[in-house]
Chain A
Amino acid sequence: MRDLSYDAVISRKNEIMKKAVGIDYEKFMISDLVFDYEKMMDEVGYSLDKVREIQAETGVGNTTLVELKQINRLIKKIAPKGKGARIFIKDEATNPSGSYKDRRASVSVYHAQKHGYKGVIAATSGNYGAAVASQAAKRGLKCIIAQECYDSKWIGQPEILEKARSCEAYGAEVVQLTVGPELFYYTLVLLEETGFFNASLYTPYAIAGVETLGYEIAEQTKEMVGKYPDIVVITHAGGGILTGTARGLKKAGATNTEIVAASVNLKGLHMASDNDFNKKYFTTGHTGFGIPFATFPDRSDVPKNAARALRYMDRYLLVSQGEVFYITEMLAQLEGMQRGPAGNTSLAAAFALALEMDDDKVIVVNETEYTGAGKLPSAQLTFARKMGMEIKRGDPIKEDIPGKSIVIPEHPSQIGYIELDMENVRKSYVKEVMKRYNKKEFNMEEVSFMAEDTNTTEEKIKQYIKELGGELIETKKG
């Protein structure tokens, strides 16, 4: 019988993963730290044309880009003269399972089918589960979704309970766990037991699937306004949607579009804490994933994560839970689009940006997601109140305290953002590398990789290494 203890299963990780994703990562690795990212994306992923073909087979993508005309009118009313950019939104909720995640699941499930796997497994508490379950249903594969769902009192996060219902509706088995990072451990157990494909969120297949989103945004924006977007605002958690969208934009030729990440600020809440678990009213798109995954992408379930947000991120903005609930109401009440709320994180940031940008600028928000029981602001805020949160109208920037109070703006002009200093984010990346690889000395090849991986200069990386107490080995290898 297999040893199912935590340490035994984790020690079999590489062997299990190799069978379950079928990628030989060694091929692209130059050292533990350095690897050839573009080569991995080219050789393992599928071409954009092929991805479009795969997605067309299951009705994924080609969603509408909608101008938010009423919201844009509101922005012009309250912005200073000459300001007030136009916002367009990509209505990804119209994908088969209700979110952009269908794109991210489509290529993995296609690949699993092509290679004769009987089923697929994904560890996810979010929309991705429904997407994998839906794509598996379309391709006749079995599906298991493993979720982190309950606290120790068996109180389930309503948004996650809804995702479980959705997965079951598509015929998937849903395994629901209590709080802890061991969701990953148990996913390995299931992969080993079933021999199913690991539809990880972080393989080149997953990211290639999202590139069509960026590509469509570039094409549609150009057709509608005669130019590529000035800014695309992207809700940021694990980094996959940002990476894929940015790559797709570049492939379409939109190389000057600024990529802005937005996350809900949940500072101070511990992601693996049983006590904090139900104090979060967004199960994704928040800083609990966004910052760790940006600064150390290789924390994911695969040896090298294909979602590498810092390669593409130009700015990183934080908004509060209250602002996102408010903008979700605005989208429903003024645009007749009931969506989100988690996917509307980027819309809240876009609204704040639009108020300060010139009125000839164009902002694209790259997703919406389906809504309903468990997900709606009314569902989440009713739950929040039960968990003892204070909910009030007020100034969200000044009064919001994650885990204590949710502050709904009193006026749209109160929607703002907190901007993270990208220099600090990049420096945190270097700090994480030093910690994770227990490394103090860096050669030029490593400096060059880190510069590329964080979209900065080698000089900056050298400066961060020195500031963090590391050393440079100036000789070049080979």
Chain B
Amino acid sequence: MLAKKGDWVQIQKTLLKPEERTAPLPEDTKKLPLQMRVKGFLLNESAEIGDEVEIETLIGRRVKGILVAVNPKYEHDFGEPVPELITIGIELRKILEGDKNA
């Protein structure tokens, strides 16, 4: 996807390679780099996903990194209906109405 100057984008950057992570860490985390994602407005004239780019963040800070998304979506949502939860309200009201065995 082609991004143009001024587009709202997300970049990614490696802050510490695995060998640079000298803090005490569990084995699984130790093998991985410490990475960062941050969003901002693209400063380059144009760029493709995977290009090294520069952005200006919401507070005006300039950060360089690899372009990973253009107009990144908020992907979290309300979830699916959960069968284990749906009946709780009905069960509790039954107890309130006097059915001790509910």
A: residues with CB less than 8 A from B are 5-7, 70, 73-74, 77-78, 119, 142-144, 149-150, 152, 154, 156, 158, 161-162, 165, 168, 171-182, 185-186, 193-194, 270, 272-275, 325-326, 329-330, 332-334, 372-374, 376-383, 391-393, 408, 411-412
Please, how many angstroms separate the alpha-carbon atoms of A181 and B15 in the complex?
Answer: 13
Which one of A77, A119, A172, A329 lies within 8 Å of B89 (CB-CB)? A329
Cβ distance A416 to chain B, nearest Cβ, rounded Å = 17
Please report the C-alpha to C-alpha distance between residue A165 and residue B84 in the assembled complex, in whole angstroms. 28
Query: Looking across the interface, which residue of chain B has its beta carbon closest to that of A170?
Result: B58
Q: How far is the CB of B13 from chain A (nearest CB, A)?
A: 10
Q: Is B25 an interface position by the 8 A CB rule?
A: yes
Cβ contact within 8 Å between B58 and A272: no
Nearest CB of chain B from residue A466's CB, rounded to whole Å: 29
Bound Cα distance A119, B100 (Å): 57
Cβ-defined partner of B34 (8 Å) among A119, A178, A273, A383: A178
Q: Is the CB–CB distance between B84 and A392 below 8 Å? A: yes
Which residues from B are CB-within-8-Å of A329?
85, 88-89
A275: chain B residues within 8 A (beta carbon): 28
A179 to B78, CA, bound (A): 24
Say yes or no: B34 contacts A182, CB within 8 Å: yes
Known: A182-B16, A329-B88. A274 touches B23 (CB 8 A): no
Question: Which 8 A-B pairs rank lowest in CB-CB distance, beginning with the nearest?
Answer: A333-B89, A382-B79, A374-B76, A378-B79, A379-B79, A173-B57, A158-B76, A142-B59
Q: Which residue of A lies closest to B68 (CB)?
A: A154
Q: Which of A77, A272, A273, A381 contacts B82 (CB 8 A)?
A: A381
**A243 vs chain B, min Cβ distance (A):** 27
The B62-102 residues at the A interface (CB cut-off 8 A) are 74-82, 84-85, 88-89, 91-93, 95-96, 98, 100
Interface residues of B in 28-62 (CB under 8 A from A): 28-29, 32-40, 57-61
With a CB–CB cut-off of 8 A, which chain B residues contact A392?
84
Known: A73-B96, A74-B92, A274-B29. A376 touches B78 (CB 8 A): yes
Whether B21 pairs with A182 at a CB distance below 8 angstroms is: yes
Question: Separation in Å of the B74 CB from the closest CB of chain A?
Answer: 5
Contact, CB under 8 Å: A177 / B34: yes
Is there an interface contact between A161 and B75, defined as CB atoms closer than 8 Å? yes
Report if A174-B39 is in contact (Cβ < 8 Å); known contacts: A74-B92, A330-B88.
yes
A172 and B58 within 8 A (CB): yes
A177 / chain B contacts, CB cutoff of 8 Å:
15, 34-36
Known: A152-B32, A378-B78, A378-B85. A412 touches B95 (CB 8 A): yes
Does A378 contact B76, Cβ atoms closer than 8 Å? no
A194 touches B76 (CB 8 A): no
With CB as the reference atom, state the residue of chain A lying closest to B25. A272
Is A173 within 8 A of B58, CB to CB?
Answer: yes
Selected A-B contacts with CB under 8 Å, 28 pairs: A77-B95, A77-B100, A144-B61, A150-B37, A158-B76, A158-B79, A161-B76, A168-B39, A174-B39, A177-B34, A178-B33, A179-B29, A180-B34, A181-B24, A182-B23, A186-B15, A186-B36, A193-B61, A330-B88, A330-B92, A334-B89, A372-B78, A373-B78, A377-B82, A378-B78, A378-B85, A379-B78, A411-B91
Chain B residues with CB under 8 A of A272: 25-26, 29
Complex interface: chain A residues within 8 A of B39 (CB): 168, 173-174
Query: Among B33, B35, B79, which residue has the most Cβ atoms of chain A within 10 A?
Result: B79
A182 to chain B, nearest CB (A): 5
Given that A270-B26, A333-B89 are known contacts, is A143 also in contact with B37, CB under 8 Å in the complex? no
Which residue of B has the minimal Cβ distance to A372? Answer: B78
For A379, give its contact among B26, B59, B77 (CB under 8 Å). Answer: B77
Alpha-carbon gap, A311 to B81, bound state (A): 43
Contacts of B75 in A (CB 8 A): 156, 161
In whole Å, how far is B36's beta carbon from the nearest beta carbon of chain A? 5
Q: Is B36 a contact partner of A143 (Cβ separation < 8 A)?
A: no
Is A161 touching B74 in the complex (CB atoms < 8 A)?
A: yes
Q: Compute how far the CA of A110 lies from the CA of B35 in the bound complex, rounded to whole angstroms.
A: 32
Given A70-B96, A272-B29, A326-B88, do A6 and B82 touch, yes or no (CB 8 Å)? no
Asked whether A381 lies within 8 Å of B36 as measured between CB atoms, the reply is no
- Shortest distance in angstroms between B70's beta carbon and chain A's nearest beta carbon? 16
B58 contacts A176, C-beta separation under 8 Å: no
Give, as a whole number of angstroms, the nearest-CB distance from B17 to chain A: 11
Chain B contacts of A70 at CB under 8 A?
96
Q: Least Cβ distance of B30 to chain A in Å?
A: 9
| B95 cross-chain contacts in A, Cβ below 8 A | 74, 77-78, 412
